[in-house]
Amino acid sequence: MNRKLLFLLVIFCGFFQFTFAQKYAVVTVKNGKKFYNHTVVEGNSLFGLQQMYNCPAEDILNANPGIERGLNDGQLILIPAIEKTILHTVQKQETLYAISKMYAVPVDSIIAKNPGAETGLKVGQRLKVENAIPRIQVDLLSVSVEENQRDIPAPSDEVKAKYEVSFKDSIITHTVLPSETMYSISKRFMVPLEDLRSANNLNSNKIQPGQVIKIPLKKEKVAQVAIRPVPPKDKVSKDSLLSFPKKDSYNIALFLPFNLDSTATFNKAVSNAALEYYMGANLAVDSLRKLGLQANFYVYDYQAKSETVSQQLAKPEFKNMDLIFAPLQNPEAETVALWAKNNKVRCVLSVNLPSKILEGNRFVYSMNTDNELLIKNLAKHIYQTHENQQIVLVKGSKPEEDWMYQLFLSNFRELPLKSSRPKIIEADWNNYKTFENLSPQTMVVFLSTDKDKVTKLLDRYKTLPNISVFGLKEWADWKEVNGIIANKYQFSYASPTFFDLKSETMSSFHKLYRRNYSADLTKMACLGYDVVLNVCSGFFLDIPMNKGLISTYKLNQFGKGNGIQNEAGYILKFQDFESKAE
C-alpha cells in the first residue's frame, strides 16, 4: 500500500465521506437454486415478504421449513428468486463485473448477448441481461414497526377464502394459518389443548399450515370467531444512552494522531499505529455499508500542526455530529470528551485511557477493559475454575502496586459462597515458598511488574507441574519472557484482547487485509475494525455488540452519572512463547 498517497488524501480532503447506497437483498445459490437472503426485522410477516419479493407464500414456506411457527428478529430467510431478462442502462463508473454481481450472472453471459461490451461501456448504454435476478430493495432497518405494518397488504380474497372459518353445529373447522400453533389456536378459541387433540385424534401438538382441524365449542357460544390481528411487539425500553434517534444518515467523527504536517514532534510509531487503526476502521466502514448503514465519516489528524483539537471541534460539521471516536491519547481525549458532554454527543474511547474521563460523563463509552476490571475478571476466573484448590496470593514489594493485591483479594472474597470454595492464602515475597506443597495443586498469583522478582518466580515454577502461575498481561511483552529460549515460562493472565492469527476468522480477515493494503495484519488494525464495526452497528442498526476479531464486549455503567465501560475480556495462557485462550 502507498502510505504516502493515503497521507496526502487525509491532508487535502480534510475528511473522508462515505455515503452508503440503498441496501439490496444479497443473492446466494443453494443446491443449484438462487435465493434472496432476507434477515427478519421487527414487523415482518409472511404476507409482507410475499409482497416484497413477489414470491408465493407457499414457495417461501417450502424453502424454509419451520417458519410456519413464526418469524424471529434476526432470522435468515431464503426467498426463491425468479430469473428474468432485464434491460440495464449503464450508469457512471459501472463495469461489466459490477453489473454481473448486481444481477448474479456471469460476465461472459452479458458479453454473449451484448457484443462489443468487453471493449468498454458507455454511460446510458443499454445492456440485455438474461437469467438476471432482479434487485430487491430491502432498506428496512430504519423503518418503524408501524410503517412496516402499514405497507403490508391485506390478504387477497383468494387467500381469505382458503383460510375461511366454517361452522357446523357445535364444531367449527379451522384451516391452520402460517405461524399458528396449537397453543395460539387454543388461546384464540378458548379451548383447552387436550380438547383440541382429542377432537382431531392427535397425539401431539404438531400441526402444519393449511391443515384443517376441528374446534369443539359449546352450543351457546357457536359464532364466527374473528381472527384477531397480532399486535406489534412492545417496544423495549432502552437506556437513552444506548439508543439513537433513527435518521436517514448519520455523521461520525474519527480522531487519529497521523501527525502529517509536522516533523518536530513526529513520532513514527504513533503515526504508524494511527494509520493501521484507520486501515482497519476503513474495512469496518465497508462492512457497515453492506449492513445498510448510511453515514458520513469525518477523519481528523488531531496532532496536525495547522490546527488544534479545539479548532477542529469548532468546524461547522460538528453542529450535527452524532458520534465521535475520541483521540487515542491524553489530554486530547479529555478535551473531546468534555466537548461531547457539553454538547450531548456520544464519545467512544478505543484504547485504555485514565478512568477519570468517564467520571460524571454519561456520554463516554470506553471499549477497552481497564486493568481494574481485568483483575476482577482474573479473580472470578480462578474462583470458578479451581475448586478445592489452594491459591497463594503473593504481595509485591512496590507500594504503588499494592492496590492490585488488595483489589484481587477483596473481589475474591466478595464472590458468592459455595461448598467447594478455593482456599486463599495471603503471602509475601519472603514466605510464599513455604506454601508450595500444602496442596496437590497450587495457584500462585503475583500481580507485579518487578521484572527481577517476576522472572525469579517463573524460573522457580517452570518445571513444577503442580504449580500454576497467574500474573499480568505486561509479562508477555517482556523480552526476558518471550525472547530467550532458555526461559520457557508458563503463566496465565487476563487481557482485554486476544490476537490469534491462527483462528479461522482471523485468517480470513488477514487475506482480505492483504488484498486491500498489501500489508500484514496488525493488532491495531484489528482494534480499529472491531471498535468501529461494533459501535456503529450497535448504536445505529440495533445489532448487539458481539465478539470481534480481537475484542469481546459487555458494556456496563459503574456508578450513577458515569460513562459506560466494557468489562469483558479474555483469560490467556502464555505457553511455548505464545498466548492461547484458556
For residue range 368-387, list pLDDT tens digits in order.
999 989 999 999 999 888 87
Is pLDDT at 95 greater than 60 in this prediction?
yes
Q: Give the separation between CA 414 and CA 400, rounded to whole angstroms.
A: 23
Q: Give this prediction's pTM.
A: 0.60
Residues 6+ apart with CB under 8 A from 333: 326, 327, 349, 353, 357
274: cell is: 494511527
The per-type count for the chain, helices as H runs and strands as E runs, is 18, 22
480: cell is: 526476558
Question: What pLDDT score does 177 carry?
Answer: 75
pLDDT bin (cut points 50, 70, 90) of residue 151 is very low
Return the closest-CA partner of residue 267 out of 253, 278, 256.
256
Mean pLDDT, residues 537-545:
87
> Does CATH place domain 3-17+249-370+505-570 in 1.10.1040.10?
no
pLDDT bin (cut points 50, 70, 90) of residue 187 is low
Give yes or no on whether 3-17+249-370+505-570 and 371-495 have one common fold: yes
Instruction: Pick the range with the lowest mean pLDDT from 182-186, 295-299, 454-458.
Output: 182-186
Domain residue extents for the chain: 3-17+249-370+505-570, 26-132, 154-221, 371-495
Mean pLDDT, residues 538-551:
88
Between 181 and 99, name the one with better pLDDT: 99
Q: Give the separation between CA 511 and CA 251, rounded to whole angstroms.
A: 30
Question: What pLDDT score does 225 carry?
Answer: 40
Helix (H, G, I), strand (E, B) or coil at 71: coil
Is pLDDT at 43 greater than 60 in this prediction?
yes
Is pLDDT at 152 greater than 60 in this prediction?
no
- Amino acid present at 1: M
Between 159 and 429, name the one with better pLDDT: 429
Return the closest-CA partner of residue 469 out of 480, 482, 484, 459.
459
Look at the domain 26-132 and name its fold. Answer: Membrane-bound Lytic Murein Transglycosylase D; Chain A (3.10.350)
Question: What pLDDT score does 179 carry?
Answer: 61
Mean pLDDT, residues 492-502:
93
> Does CATH place domain 154-221 in 3.10.350.10?
yes
Mean pLDDT, residues 209-217:
81
Question: What pLDDT score does 324 carry?
Answer: 96
Q: Give the separation between CA 258 and CA 303, rounded to whole angstroms.
A: 7
Q: Give the separation between CA 453 and CA 427, rounded to whole angstroms.
A: 14
CATH architecture, domain defined by 371-495? 3-Layer(aba) Sandwich (3.40)
